[in-house]
Amino acid sequence: MTKGDRVQLEYVSSGKGFKAFKPYVRQLSSPGGVNLLRDNVANHIHHHALMFAVAVDGVDFWSEQENSGKQLQKSLSFRGTGGKPGNWARRLLQGELEWVSTDGKAIAKESRTIELYGGTPDCTMLTWRTRLSPPAGKQSIQVTGSHYFGLGIRFVESMDKADSFMFAEIDAKSTVIRGSEKVTPSKWVAFTGPVEGKVVTVAVFDHPQNLRKTHWFTMHDPFSYLSATINLLREPLTVKADQPLDLRYGLAVWDGKVDREQVEKGYGRWLELVEGGK
């Protein structure tokens, strides 16, 4: 997805040289064209920029090891809706994925949509929506995971060690897991750091209709990482065929350092956009 001659978002799921166990967003850029995502990390090959993964029925879809599961893209479509002349309102990637074990057995199915919004010149804004459910013929699945399983973001190397996570609530209470790794319930989190000699800020938003309040996993040492989680380590979840796990998250990327008031304004704008699109 481009804006003018700049790539705003790049989604990869197949093609020559694709070796990942899961489809993911490889590039997400600020309005000024600064990409903040990192892929192909030698000692963390499973960290693919912006990705979603959990464990299902004991199969780990986060890691990329011999016994890890794979997310297979079964279909993928793209469409855009027009806005004013010379501009666009929304661009939508929509696809179906089959989550399979090493023996090819279907473990879960996912409907995934990524919607990029036009008309937000001060930031790049999108919605990631995942609807996870049992495969055909199965009534339920057990969803589990580590404290960082969920919608994960690996940042470019220059943002490592930037301890600049900000939460919606000034007095948000964090639980330290180990080292700089923390889990913090909040309606949004923002992170600011240097990229290519510039500064960018990214915020991730929780949708109020998500099944559980988001618990944000954050760390900055030895590298920076952020995940939107639903606390699966402490609260495993049974997902039934007639009640898919439906999760929506918003992302916004600004050029420069952004304060809490501006992030909150962006959060409100995102809620308007996502509700307008249903």
Calpha distance 168→225 (Å, rounded): 18
Calpha distance 204→211 (Å, rounded): 17
Q: Map residue 44 onto helix, strand or coil.
A: strand
How much of the chain, in percent, has pLDDT values that exceed 90? 86
193: which strand partners?
200
Q: Taking 90 as the threshold, does the pLDDT of residue 131 lie above it?
A: yes
Q: Looking up tokens 């938003």, which residue turns up? A: 205
The answer to whether the Cα torsion of 48, 278, 134, 54 is positive or negative is positive
Average pLDDT over residues 146-156: 98
Architecture of domain 2-277: Distorted Sandwich (2.70)
Q: pLDDT-based confidence at 3, cuts 50/70/90?
A: low
53: which strand partners?
150
Cβ neighbour number for residue 140 with a 10 Å cutoff: 14
Q: Taking 80 as the threshold, does the pLDDT of residue 19 lie above it?
A: yes
DSSP one-letter code for 187:
S
Q: pLDDT-based confidence at 6, cuts 50/70/90?
A: confident
Average pLDDT over residues 8-16: 88
Cβ neighbour number for residue 234 with a 10 Å cutoff: 9
CA-CA distances (angstroms) from residue 118 to 67, 127, 268?
Answer: 41, 12, 16
- What pLDDT shows up at residue 215? 98
Calpha distance 140→236 (Å, rounded): 13
- What pLDDT shows up at residue 16? 72
Domain limits, the chain: 2-277
Query: Which is higher by pLDDT, 205 or 87?
Result: 205
- What pLDDT shows up at residue 84? 56
- What pLDDT shows up at residue 256? 97
Calpha distance 113→236 (Å, rounded): 24
Q: Which of 4, 205, 204 is nearest to 88 (CA)?
A: 4
pLDDT, tens digit, for every residue of 162-203?
999 999 999 999 999 999 999 999 999 999 999 999 999 999
pLDDT, tens digit, for every residue of 45-82?
999 999 999 999 999 999 999 999 999 999 999 998 76
- What pLDDT shows up at residue 154? 98
Q: Taking 90 as the threshold, does the pLDDT of residue 87 lie above it?
A: no
Q: Which residues contact 2 (CB under 8 A, 6 or more apart)?
A: 8
pTM for the complete prediction?
0.95
Q: Taking 70 as the threshold, does the pLDDT of residue 41 lie above it?
A: yes
Cβ neighbour number for residue 243 with a 10 Å cutoff: 11
Q: Tell me: cis bond preceding 244? Omega within 30 of 0 counts.
A: no
